[in-house]
Structure 1
């Protein structure tokens, strides 16, 4: 993979990495607030492993909200670690975010595809034309919006990964040594 030299054609990868970490923290906090403020009946949860009664019991106990909140707290922790890594120029502290980032990108792709396909398949089960049209529009919006979000996320991951590689190379050759092409 070719390293990026700039973030958004104007900022350094260091600045882009800091912005990415701060955005991760802000979005995680906003999601935690939204998950706990929005009414329960607006959020649907299914495991695909257990029956609907067990899924309802889990939802009534707020288990999905608690699990999501814990995941988002770990995201806040890893983004905070990324900020410290950038400020202290330590590549090994960036590694958890880099690994988590690519795993989340794969999960996001699967989630977008699964959700949009589910809504497309709902159209076959609906009797009314208006409800059918609503599911198609929602499925298309989820698919297009999710893929755009995935592309933006992958770009920001590439910015962080490029900065990680730059810092790692600097650590390997020594901070105060001459660049390898000037020896």
Structure 2
């Protein structure tokens, strides 16, 4: 994979990485607030693993909301770790975010496809909604993958710098 030299054609990958980490923190906090503020009947949490009755019992106990909140708290922690890694120039501190980022991208793709297909196959006429979810979700996935590539490029730069040493100038020969 080729490395990106700039983020959005004007900022360094370091700046892009910091912006990505801050965006991750902000979006996670907003999501946590929305998950707990919005009425239960307006958001549907389903596991698709258990029977529908058991899913309803879990939702009544707020188990899916609690699990989502814990996951988002870990995302905030990993984003803070990414900020520290950028300032200290430590590639191994960036690695959790890089791994989490690609796993989340795969999960986002599966979620967008599943939701859109479910609405397309629904008995009611949700074609416009399904198309909006599909197009919007895939555009969001592209943006997310671009930001992941920015962070990954910065990770590779920092890792290479650690391997060869901070200074590339040869010492004076006497």
On whether the aligned pair clears a TM of 0.5, the verdict is: yes
Give unmatched runs, 5+ long, in structure 2: none
Aligned residue in 2 for 1:156:
147
Q: What per-residue deviation string (whole Å, max 9, x for no partner) do you get for residues 74-96 of structure 1?
A: 00000000000000000000000
Aligned residue in 2 for 1:48:
48
In the alignment, structure 1 residue 168 sits paired with structure 2 residue 159:
yes
TM-score by length of 2: 0.96
Deviation at 1:176, TM superposition (A): 2.2
Q: How far apart are the structure 2 equivalents of 1:80 and 1:49?
A: 32
Deviation at 1:51, TM superposition (A): 1.6
**Where does 1:1-183 land on structure 2 (aligned, <5 Å)?**
1-122=1-122, 125-126=123-124, 132=125, 135-178=126-169
**Secondary structure of residue in 2 paired with 1:152:** helix
Deviation at 1:169, TM superposition (A): 0.4
TM-score by length of 1: 0.91
Q: How far apart are the structure 2 equivalents of 1:81 and 1:72?
A: 14
Q: How far apart are the structure 1 equivalents of 2:83 and 2:128?
A: 39
Measured on the aligned residues, the alpha-carbon RMSD in Å equals 0.9
**Secondary structure of residue in 1 paired with 2:47:** coil
Give unmatched runs, 5+ long, in structure 1: 127-131
Q: How far apart are the structure 2 equivalents of 1:14 and 1:176?
A: 18
Q: What per-residue deviation string (whole Å, max 9, x for no partner) do you get for residues 23-72 of structure 1?
A: 00000000000000000001112222222111110000000000000000
Q: How far apart are the structure 2 equivalents of 1:7 and 1:177?
A: 24
Q: How far apart are the structure 2 equivalents of 1:49 and 1:168?
A: 40
**Secondary structure of residue in 2 paired with 1:41:** helix
